[in-house]
Amino acid sequence: MHGNPKARQEWRLDQVVNALSASRKVDIGAYASFSGSLAWPYIHPRPQCAAGLIEMAFDELAKRW
């Protein structure tokens, strides 16, 4: 999937669907995910992030969903 963003996105979606399906099979009524993970490297205090980087990460997340 290297160099194929569409294939990577489809794989990620498939992983979420599989996790939801597995959760249902073991009677788990809720499923948590960390949708802000794109921004995690910029939130951690070291190294400091450039101004506007958090907004850019969440804009990218919004484009992907």
pTM to 2 decimal places: 0.48
pLDDT in tens, 18-58: 988 998 899 987 777 766 666 766 666 666 667 888 888 88
The backbone torsions φ and ψ at residue 8, rounded to the nearest 5 degrees and listed phi first, read -65, -40
Q: What's the CA dihedral at 38, 42, 47, 53 to 10 degrees?
A: 120
**Minimal CA–CA distance to 38: which of 60, 11, 9?**
60
Dist. CA 17–CA 25, nearest whole Å:
12
pLDDT of 42 reads: 65
pLDDT in tens, 13-24: 898 889 889 988
How far does the chain reach from its first CA to its final CA, in angstroms? 19
